[in-house]
Structure 1
């Protein structure tokens, strides 16, 4: 089992110290949430059953890939992930270039978590059609993958149209940074099978994970993929038994937040490492 830290769960002023300390303690990764812009009036939620956004519009937002590039320069082994990046809101030239830069400066430590987005008002503010976001994300991923792997790329699609371009340098990780697709429905699972290295379920309970993993495995095979997709999500992690249940359900990486307030975070990750992380790895 791999263990990641959600940087969005603490004040940005602690991101550097928390990342450096997490690396020292043996955590595998840190993950940063992302929005391009937060409209003053927002509705909906990424969490099923919630009618209000989980964050206020005044929440400080940073360019996630730029900030992770800074954190990569402060560390040497811990991986950097987006949880998740709204790739459909950008031209794929922008996303591919930013992701490549982080992959290079981190020496191949970037995990590219992406999503189709839930915030309609953010798409409206960007002048894009929220109802076509899934198709736009798929085409953006197709272009990014081509830019990362081919000497020249020409593309004539529904949303993006360009003659042959060159794209250098290529990412450190062969084929580009691993893409982890956030989402819960069949379109997200299909996106994983077509483009992804992993899946980030956002609303699944632990009991629901195995059934969706089975469906994902079927889609993965249908697309002629080898190996298996990696599953990353948050779940109860209060004991080694919790970790075993998560592993049995098919989870490969747990995003854990063993604190309630920013001032408790450094002590919290140290305590979790002593109580859970180290015993799990040595047991």
Structure 2
């Protein structure tokens, strides 16, 4: 079972010294992948409900530092050499897909093919309003933007005509290193997110999910594979748990989960952050140490 670490870019995990310490320690001690999430905008008292907690509130304070995930992972790529990197998740409908396609391919090239792009639709209407992007229709926008980026990565020149995006015979380079295709994961715990993981992406990133709910979500993914003519075995299935312990790993692997992502906040002192990362590895990756 692969074990990833989601700990970079927020609050104490936003300083370059701590990012370096956590990234290098994670690579040294056997974590498979570094994950980094996104919010461009937070507000003090949102009306929007956060979907990944029981009380509907995000745990990160609105005034906390929250780094851009692509830039953060570029820094992490520069101080590591083998550990994989992923956004978990980038809020795709808030962005111009042509720019994201270029940025993601650039990170893939700079990391020697270690990057996967995890995307989500977003939940904060206040964030969308601040960015001038319609909140309604963000799911359709996400699906189309994935198709746009796939087209840009595969074709040169590339053309596309959709509901939100149109271009004709343009060139956007570099291309991702893996034959012009960048692995993409759809984030979110809803049935629509699970559908998107199969219909448009290469897998799924479930976040803050109770262990007891994982098997049902994975079964839905299998059903979607049958509906869309895809092989379940080709999916990446990554899950960040709300209540998991290392003893759950064999059971999760048996359901089809390919990666468990440990979520945590490192301490602000680099040496302590490195030791914190090593302790997590000793807890979660016992067989590899």
Q: What's the TM-score, normalizing by structure 2?
A: 0.89
| RMSD across aligned positions (CA) | 2.1
Note if contact 1:258-1:265 (Cα within 8 Å) is conserved in structure 2. Answer: no
Match of residue 248 from structure 2: 242
Count of aligned pairs: 280
Cα separation, 1, equivalents of 2:186 and 2:212 = 20
Cα separation, 2, equivalents of 1:119 and 1:203 = 17
Matched, 1:4 2:4: yes
Q: CA deviation at 1:51?
A: 2.9
1:59-101 Cα offsets, whole Å, 9 max, x none, are: 2122211221121111100011111101111111111011001
**1:35 aligned to 25, 36, 39, which one?**
39
Cα separation, 1, equivalents of 2:238 and 2:207 = 9
Cα separation, 1, equivalents of 2:197 and 2:93 = 15
Q: Could you list the runs of 5+ residues in structure 1 that have no partner in the other structure?
A: none
Q: Which runs of 4+ in 1 moved over 3 A?
A: 236-239, 257-265
Q: CA deviation at 1:265?
A: 3.9
Q: Could you list the runs of 5+ residues in structure 2 that have no partner in the other structure?
A: none
Q: Quick one: higher RCO (CA 8 Å, sep 6+), 1 or 2?
A: 2
Match of residue 64 from structure 1: 69
Note if contact 1:209-1:250 (Cα within 8 Å) is conserved in structure 2. Answer: no
Shifted more, 32-41 versus 161-170: the winner is 32-41
Q: What's the TM-score, normalizing by structure 1?
A: 0.90
Match of residue 151 from structure 2: 146
Q: How does 1:65-84 map to 2 (within 5 A)?
A: 65-84=70-89
Match of residue 272 from structure 1: 280
Q: CA deviation at 1:170?
A: 0.9
Matched, 1:176 2:184: no
Matched, 1:190 2:195: yes
